[in-house]
Structure 1
Amino acid sequence: MSRGKIAFFTIILTYFLIVFGGYVASSESGMGCGPEWPLCNGEVIPDLQGDTLIEFGHRVIGALLFFLTIIIFVKVKKENSSNLERTVANWMLGLLILQLVMGAIVVFYHLPSIIITIHLLIAMIFLGILIWFWRFNSGYVIRESNDNHQIKKHINRIVILLFITIGLGAYIKHQHYGLACGWLECGAEAIPSTIPEILQSIHRLLAILSTFYILFTTYKVFSIYNSRLKTHMVLALVVILIQLIIGVMTIVSLVSISFAVLHLAAATLLFAIVVDARTLIRD
């Protein structure tokens, strides 16, 4: 199987692992294997039921992801790859190893919020690298010109905005600050005064800013000849609008598991779409 196809399957698996990880956290199943890693409740294969089944399933998917990543890494090293590909492959493997270490820390120290947040953000960077590998090995790119150079800068900023928004949202969730504000208002005062209210307000502001920036960039993209980039940006705009609705429903439902997981799923999909749009533009 070609490197591009393996990268594509690894992207799908990474996306599923991130979303499933959100379910593990939302269902409070993260300690289903106890404070042990890599063993689960002292066993290689534990009694698979309840929280243990959920957490162990997450670990099994992670192991499969590690295996596929090693295959990509070996292929890059063995094939006639560019220095850039080799460097990115090193970063990819390094991030995956760091991710495994962070996962172990999460278990050993009973799910600290900041570590879980970093765990998610590393997964997002890893997903971005996989998308880069997949697109790098496809034949479709947009060569940079004066026009799309500006678009590239806009998309770079959107990626950073989304990355920060996702990280802050994860921290808010795991600190149980999700209901610090209502779906529209935030506290009795005009200006939020408590830490949970402030963080939730910043998260919402970043989400709104991201929405308008994607709308602006989509408008700019439509002045460029390329149809593939237009499709990406329109899709990103649709997903972020859906994400805003899911965000409201998450609050209305008092942060139900289903809406919390959907919120993460939409955010991850949006991040992947925008990163893929960025990889289309190449120097």
Structure 2
Amino acid sequence: MQKWIQRLANLSAIGMFLILAMGALVTKADAGRGCGDEWPLCHGKFVPAHTISSFIEYSHRLVVGIVTLILIATFYLVFRYVKRTDAKVFITATVIMTLVQAVMGAMAVVWPQSSLVLALHFGLSLLAFAFSLLLALVFTPWGQFTRHTSIRTSFKVLVWFTTIYSYVVVYLGAFVRHTVSSGGCSGWPLCNGEVIPELSGATGIVFTHRIAALLLFICILFLFIQARRHYDSSDKLWFGSKWALILVSTQVITGAIVTWAMGNEVAYLLTGMLHAINVACMFGFLCYLCVLTLYDRKA
């Protein structure tokens, strides 16, 4: 039974990753209205006409439905056969976040919502993926969160601050997409050829996101330096911090490429999706570090 639970946990994490990626595609391809104002039907049909926008939107809905069924099965088996409390917490949080984002997605279709609310939809998907990833890790050697050495209090604070702040930066990025503000800054690293542009409208939104992303890079770089200074290279804290730094560096690069790709629809779409997928992986590693701090050995 443990093997089945592990397989379902892995499928849940993969499924949540697909939901997040497909949600980014829906936004980038402007396919959110691909099924009109109807939910769960698409233009009054279970199988809609084969237009690109309706296919993208309906495929996203279909995947959400399938993954939800997998999550329900995983939820039952975890509570029935797994004794670890953390596994129960992770699957419960995944199910809750998935259901909330599904309801929000349906509401966004039937009743158009503000960009502030729509941006939160991606944030919930990110949390659902992070919790599903942690659940999958429970059944691997990396899921043995207990430690034999204590963690410095300052490092714990840095980990949690960086993770929470990264969520804010991700939300700003989603807000940029939903307000269609990406074109507010042409060029990179300069914005419209200026170090500090006029901070109004779309330009102000994009520039704020860029500054926030720069500060996030500095936070994760400092986090890695602290992990390398105080923990062995075989320590999970060092490993997680290293990959968080690698991924935030990649995130900066993909963000620049997204800007350079404007004007080329296909390249812009692909790099935009890569940008969203990369940030999910980075956030997953930061959440993993947060969990490690919760299992610190008591002095």
Q: TM-score, normalised by structure 2?
A: 0.85
Q: 1:192-271 alignment to 2 at 5 Å?
A: 192-222=198-228, 223-225=230-232, 226-254=234-262, 256-271=268-283
- Greater shift after overlay, 226-235 or 205-214? 226-235
CA distance in 1, matches of 2:195, 2:292: 45
Instruction: Check conservation: 1:135, 1:280, Cα contact below 8 A.
Output: no
CA distance in 1, matches of 2:28, 2:112: 15
Corresponding residue for residue 70 of structure 1: 72
Deviation at 1:131, TM superposition (A): 2.5
Corresponding residue for residue 143 of structure 1: 147
**3-state SS in 2 of match to 1:176:** coil
**3-state SS in 1 of match to 2:182:** coil
Deviation at 1:148, TM superposition (A): 4.5
CA distance in 1, matches of 2:178, 2:150: 43
The one-letter code sitting in structure 2 at the alignment partner of 1:193 is L
**3-state SS in 2 of match to 1:46:** coil
Task: Work out the number of aligned pairs and report it.
Answer: 283
The one-letter code sitting in structure 2 at the alignment partner of 1:173 is R
Describe the shift of the 1:86–1:268 C-alpha distance in structure 2 as closer, same or farther (beyond 3 A): closer
Corresponding residue for residue 176 of structure 2: 172
Instruction: Check conservation: 2:72, 2:95, Cα contact below 8 A.
Output: yes
CA distance in 1, matches of 2:19, 2:91: 20
Corresponding residue for residue 100 of structure 1: 102
1:153 aligns with 2:175: no
CA distance in 1, matches of 2:275, 2:30: 17
Instruction: Check conservation: 2:197, 2:203, Cα contact below 8 A.
Output: no
CA distance in 2, matches of 1:198, 1:176: 13
The one-letter code sitting in structure 1 at the alignment partner of 2:57 is E
List alignment gaps of at least 5 residues for structure 1.
Answer: none
Superposed CA deviations along residues 155-202 of structure 1, whole A, max 9, x for unmatched, are 212211211111111111110111212323346694643143332222
Superposed CA deviations along residues 137-160 of structure 1, whole A, max 9, x for unmatched, are 444224274434433322212211
List alignment gaps of at least 5 residues for structure 2.
Answer: none
CA distance in 1, matches of 2:224, 2:178: 33
CA distance in 2, matches of 1:80, 1:272: 23
Describe the shift of the 1:87–1:184 C-alpha distance in structure 2 as closer, same or farther (beyond 3 A): closer
Q: Identical aligned pairs, as a percentage?
A: 20
**3-state SS in 2 of match to 1:277:** helix
Q: TM-score, normalised by structure 1?
A: 0.89
Where relative contact order (Cα < 8 A, 6+ residues apart) is larger, the structure is 1
Instruction: Check conservation: 1:192, 1:201, Cα contact below 8 A.
Output: no
**3-state SS in 1 of match to 2:277:** helix
